[in-house]
Chain A
Amino acid sequence: MSEDEKFDAIIIGAGPAGSACAYTLAKDGKEVLVIEKGDTPGSKNLTGGRFYTYALEMLDADLLKEAALERKVTHEQLMMLSGDRGITIDYYDPSFNQKGHTPVSYTILRASFDEWLAGKAEEMGAVVVCGVKVDGLIEKDGMIVGVIAGEDEMYADVVIAADGVNSLIAQHAGLINDIESHTVGVGIKEVIELSGKTIEERFNLKPGEGAARMILGCTDGIHGGGFLYTNQESISLGCVLMPEEAAERKISVHEVLQNLKMHPAVYPLLEGGHTVEYGAHLVSEAGFRGIPKKLYRDGFIIIGDAAGLVINTGYSIRGIDLAIVSGIAAANAVIRANDTASVGPAYITELENLKLIPTMKATDGFFEILETPWLYDKLPNLGADICAYLYREDGELPGSIKKDILKLVKANGLSVFQLAKFGLKGVRSL
């Protein structure tokens, strides 16, 4: 291909960011090429996962009806494990499954979702090429003008990197450095096949309804947690933890997930199921402060995970929705900019307009809160101790609840002062 027959945009990666961007550009009549290294879109991608629907409605109001999604999340759950004990809090909200209302979120599997969304971009006129890996960028006079894949060179007015958290392309362009180990978690997941009926019985779900569960106290005290999502005919069980701490403590991340799976409060939910896939992926943990200083160069912008656009609040993890919003922002920038040089600044403006950067800024405080080490072992243990104390009856005269609970706080190596300080820190930083 010569420089004369160039595309309006080349997008690297057919994940949600890349496909949303391609969809928006193609809809506007732009000539778009999407290059995906996997056999099919989504085949290299992994989620926990859950997907927040507002992003798809922002892309196109009609898309949600036919999207490849799993179950509407109506049960938001928090589980705390300690030894063989477990506490589960279940928030059920039937309004999340009301006719005429858009559910807030769905459980999701990426192989089907990403392939579906890339197909939608194709229907709009984007060209999606799979099984081709982009090896590098073509630079001319300080501008990115195209990509190299094997022996092929392809040119475009703008190259958009949507190649994920471990973005070798953004690094190649000099926008990001080597990833610092304390800014990423490693996510590990098993997909366990079970009949829809069994899942509905075990999780108390109506047909089509789903549960999303965050699990604390399952990581041997390592900064991180577990997750469980009910799909239509399977359960996604996994954990995300800081690999640096695992290495320091010589704990295998593989074993952490195996132990979670076999936990007496978790295993009965999975019993009789068959694991059909085992996957792993990096998760950006730094939130707002993890966003690279520059998200563009002349002729080049980065979107989605490549741009660090992930929010972890502890009770929810968002990435796919932010990826889609950033893809829309990038496309809007390309459509509205008069020349290549103004695409980058226009992209930043769009990210602000679509409230993406402000949202990340607003949730920045969670990073420090989640750095509190005792959240991951002492707190779930204290919770279980308090339950054991409250629910145990032996016919004896009860003592002072206040005094007894203070004793438990102390026995867990915590102090009321520490808990109060944590509460205050929470209020201040959020």
Chain B
Amino acid sequence: MEAPELLSLNKFNVDEQEPHIVIDQEICITCGKKPCLYICPARLYRLDKNEQISFDYAGCLECGTCRVLCQKKGILKWVYPRGTFGISFRYG
């Protein structure tokens, strides 16, 4: 199954006002390895046509792997979503 299909099975309450992860595309474009493309289980980091990293925080499983692996500190902000927002595991 593709990642978007898997994510569609989950219960999310997306915080439209406040993204909990913010990246700086200008920094990310200078990153050679771009680990985020491979290590995000939700595959939310993608390379767009201009070779820039595009990222959508909706669908984030909040595992924190990108925060740990980010090489060039292109992730400017990584916090858990505000209370009640984000993923709600129904099974866990």
Identify the A interface with B (CB < 8 A).
Answer: 37-40, 42-47, 109-112, 114, 130-133, 149-150, 165-166, 168, 178-181, 184, 186-188, 190-191, 234, 243-244, 246-248, 250-254, 257-258, 275-282
Contact = CB atoms under 8 A, between A and B. Distances in A.
Nearest to A164: B64
B25 interface: no
Contact of A166 (B40, B64, B82, B90): B64
Contact of B43 (A40, A179, A181, A254): A254
B67 to A, nearest CB: 7
Closest 9 CB pairs of A and B: A110-B92, A247-B35, A280-B41, A278-B6, A166-B64, A243-B39, A131-B84, A280-B63, A111-B92
27 contacts: A38-B88, A39-B13, A40-B88, A43-B90, A44-B86, A109-B92, A133-B83, A166-B64, A178-B68, A243-B35, A243-B38, A243-B69, A244-B35, A248-B33, A252-B38, A252-B43, A253-B40, A257-B41, A258-B1, A275-B6, A276-B91, A277-B90, A277-B91, A278-B7, A278-B41, A279-B87, A280-B63
Nearest to A281: B63
B89 A280 contact: no
A180 to B, nearest CB: 8
B30 interface: no
Contact of B39 (A131, A179, A190, A247): A247
Interface string B33-69: 1010111111100000000000000000111110111
Contacts of A44: 62, 80, 86-89
A253 B84 contact: no
A4 B65 CA distance: 40
B3 A254 contact: yes
Contacts of A180: 68
B65 A282 contact: yes
A179 B81 CA distance: 20
A130 B84 CA distance: 8
Interface of B: 1, 3, 6-7, 9-10, 13, 33, 35, 37-43, 61-65, 67-69, 79-84, 86-92
Nearest to B84: A131
Nearest to A247: B35
A185 B52 CA distance: 27
B38 A246 contact: yes
Nearest to B70: A181
Given A166-B67, A179-B68, A277 B35 contact: no
Contacts of A248: 33
Given A42-B92, A111-B92, A133 B65 contact: no
A336 B11 CA distance: 42
Contact of B65 (A45, A150, A275, A280): A280
Given A39-B84, A39-B88, A251-B38, A275 B68 contact: no
A275 B9 contact: yes
Contacts of A114: 92
B61 A279 contact: yes
A111 B91 contact: yes
A84 to B, nearest CB: 20
Contacts of A251: 38
Contact of A253 (B7, B10, B41, B92): B41
A281 B87 CA distance: 12
Contacts of B83: 37, 130-133, 149-150
A268 B83 CA distance: 40
B69 A43 contact: no
